[in-house]
């Protein structure tokens, strides 16, 4: 176990200033309530490492005053009601994507053990279109960055919605294993994520879906998560983990349907201490959304953590605050101290929320069947996939670093990122090139763009 983790936390106050429009459930203001490293604003060429050049260019030039002039493009790129055009849309995308890209780069350069970007985690965006409140898929961009240094990347998603954009991007490769725990069925968005969706070609069995029904509780979710993820890490042996912590899987979320608390362990322990009842073993108390973060952290692998969905904004802020504490090995008091947003947490002003009470349709037999199917798929993986590696002499580290073979024009600048001006960008970073096989990620049915560097 590492004696003390080095944590990088990315935040830009401007990310909370945009407004999706009246009655829209996405409230970027939730990020201001959570709150530091300030991320760079991702360049268009960086966004085009995954997204098509014409899509990135359209996001860059569209605004509320001109959108009516481009009805065909609006329809083509799926912009509209769920994904509206608003003021500073492109800058918003640049900020949250830049945070995840920078987080991946710090992990690659061994400048930290854990990197956090709560503004990221927009997992629905596709190569050529927006989807589910997501415009740019920062997770795919971050994973592509990590693949420059790591043979295998594990992506874990605990948002209530299926992580379809990330899964689709890497559906044909064994270099990335995607694992998504989500609500499935009854026309629930995005409609994908059946346990039978397992990847194709070289990616067969490297997409894992855990479809759940309404009302799953802390205990059932946490046990299932721990069992599956432990086996995944043992089998796949990733070099780095990306964890998407969508908070819409919490009880009481505006768009969610689960019963998860933020941190059932702390809630129950506080109750026991108040009532002088200490007869329950501590192992049984470890439940809730934050426990999933604890489980992943205990693997002691480089870890990139992002936010995601979450539409009851005060609970989103609570959740990611608690989970920041988990990543820092810091137990936070349940009373929220006075701050600029205290009115949103009234009247109780407590940090943790209890689990919900909607009916749980996840029977033991159903969860057992899902677990059995996932374990059977994992048994089909004979061994962890590998790629050719070589020593990287150009990277200054305390020990030798192993990276995927890269072309001679690839270069990482020799600098201390902790001392950089966060508002300036090293020119060489714009020269970073994506390292991929021909089948590295699925580019969608409309993939006919081969000029991504022309952005």
Statement: residue 453 has pLDDT above 60: no
Query: What digits encode the pLDDT tens for the residues 236-282?
Result: 999 999 999 999 999 999 999 999 999 875 444 454 445 555 544 44
* 428 torsion bin: left (phi>0), alpha (psi -120 to 50), beta (else): alpha
427 band by pLDDT with thresholds 50, 70 and 90: very low
The answer to whether the annotation marks 98 as part of a ligand binding site is: no
pLDDT at 432: 36
User: What average pLDDT does the segment 35-50 reach?
Assistant: 87
pLDDT at 451: 42
The answer to whether the annotation marks 441 as part of a ligand binding site is: no
Q: Which positions are annotated as active-site residues? A: 124
pLDDT at 26: 55
User: What average pLDDT does the segment 210-235 reach?
Assistant: 98
CA dist 387 and 363 (Å) reads 41
Please answer whether residues 245 and 320 qualify as being in contact, where contact means their C-beta atoms are separated by less than 8 angstroms: yes
CA dist 102 and 141 (Å) reads 10
Domain boundaries, the chain: 12-385
pLDDT at 69: 97
The answer to whether the annotation marks 161 as part of a ligand binding site is: yes
* Termini Cα distance of the chain: 44
Residue of 328, 324, 288 lying closest to 117 (CA atoms): 324
The answer to whether the annotation marks 82 as part of a ligand binding site is: yes
21 band by pLDDT with thresholds 50, 70 and 90: low
Mean pLDDT of the chain: 82
385 band by pLDDT with thresholds 50, 70 and 90: confident
User: What average pLDDT does the segment 403-430 reach?
Assistant: 40
User: What average pLDDT does the segment 26-49 reach?
Assistant: 73
CATH topology for the 12-385 domain: 3.40.800
At 207, is the secondary structure helix, strand, or coil?
A: strand
Statement: residue 319 has pLDDT above 60: yes
Query: What digits encode the pLDDT tens for the residues 150-187?
Result: 999 999 999 999 999 999 999 999 999 999 999 999 99
User: What average pLDDT does the segment 343-371 reach?
Assistant: 93
The answer to whether the annotation marks 135 as part of a ligand binding site is: no
pLDDT at 190: 97
Residue scoring higher pLDDT (415 or 144): 144
What angle is formed at CA 13 by the lines to CA 88 and CA 352, rounded to 5 degrees?
120
* Percent of all residues in the chain with a pLDDT value above 70, rounded to a whole number: 73
Q: What is the pTM of this model?
A: 0.79
Statement: residue 403 has pLDDT above 70: no
The answer to whether the annotation marks 357 as part of a ligand binding site is: no
Residue 399 CB partners (closer than 8 Å, separation 6+): none
206 band by pLDDT with thresholds 50, 70 and 90: very high
CA dist 103 and 428 (Å) reads 17
CA dist 335 and 404 (Å) reads 47
Q: How many CB atoms lie within 10 A of CB 322?
A: 23
């Amino acid at each position: 176990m590492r004696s003390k983790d080095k944590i990088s936390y990315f935040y830009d106050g401007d990310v909370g200033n945009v407004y999706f429009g009246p009655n829209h459930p996405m409230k970027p203001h939730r990020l201001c309530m959570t709150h530091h490293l300030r991320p760079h604003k991702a360049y268009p060429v960086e966004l085009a490492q995954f997204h098509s050049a014409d899509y990135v260019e359209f996001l860059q030039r569209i605004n509320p005053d001109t959108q009516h002039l481009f009805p065909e493009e609006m329809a083509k790129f799926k912009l509209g009601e769920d994904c509206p055009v608003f003021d500073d849309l492109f800058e918003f995308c640049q900020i949250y994507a830049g945070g995840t890209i920078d987080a991946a780069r710090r992990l690659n350069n061994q400048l930290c053990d854990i990197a956090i970007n709560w503004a990221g985690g927009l997992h629905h965006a596709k190569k050529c279109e927006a989807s589910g409140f997501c415009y740019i898929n920062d997770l795919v961009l971050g994973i592509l960055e990590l693949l420059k240094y790591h043979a295998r990347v594990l992506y874990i998603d605990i948002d209530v919605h299926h992580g379809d954009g990330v899964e689709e991007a890497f559906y044909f490769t064994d270099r990335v294993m995607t694992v998504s725990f989500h609500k499935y069925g009854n026309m629930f968005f995005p409609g994908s994520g059946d346990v039978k969706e397992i990847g194709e070609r070289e990616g067969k069995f490297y997409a894992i879906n855990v479809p759940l029904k309404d009302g799953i509780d802390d205990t059932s979710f946490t046990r299932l998560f721990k069992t599956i993820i432990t086996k995944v890490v043992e089998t796949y042996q990733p070099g780095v983990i990306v964890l998407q912590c969508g908070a819409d899987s919490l009880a009481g979320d505006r768009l969610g349907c689960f019963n998860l608390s933020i941190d059932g362990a702390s809630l129950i322990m506080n109750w026991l201490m108040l009532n002088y009842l200490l007869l329950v073993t501590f192992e049984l108390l470890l439940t809730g959304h934050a426990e999933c973060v604890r489980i992943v952290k205990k693997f002691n692998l480089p870890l990139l953590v992002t936010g995601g969905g979450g539409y009851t904004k005060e609970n989103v802020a609570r959740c990611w605050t608690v989970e920041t504490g988990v990543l820092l090995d810091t137990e936070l008091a349940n009373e929220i101290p006075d701050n600029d947003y205290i009115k949103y947490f009234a009247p109780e002003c407590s940090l943790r929320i209890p689990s919900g009470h909607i009916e749980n349709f996840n029977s033991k037999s159903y969860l057992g069947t899902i677990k059995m199917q996932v374990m059977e798929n994992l048994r089909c993986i004979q061994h962890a996939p590998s790629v050719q590696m070589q020593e990287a002499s150009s990277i200054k580290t305390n020990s030798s670093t192993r990276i995927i073979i890269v072309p001679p024009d690839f270069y990482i600048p020799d600098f201390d990122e902790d001392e950089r001006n966060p508002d300036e960008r090293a020119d060489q970073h714009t020269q970073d090139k994506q390292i991929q096989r021909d089948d590295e990620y699925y580019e969608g049915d409309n993939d006919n763009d081969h000029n991504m560097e022309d952005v």
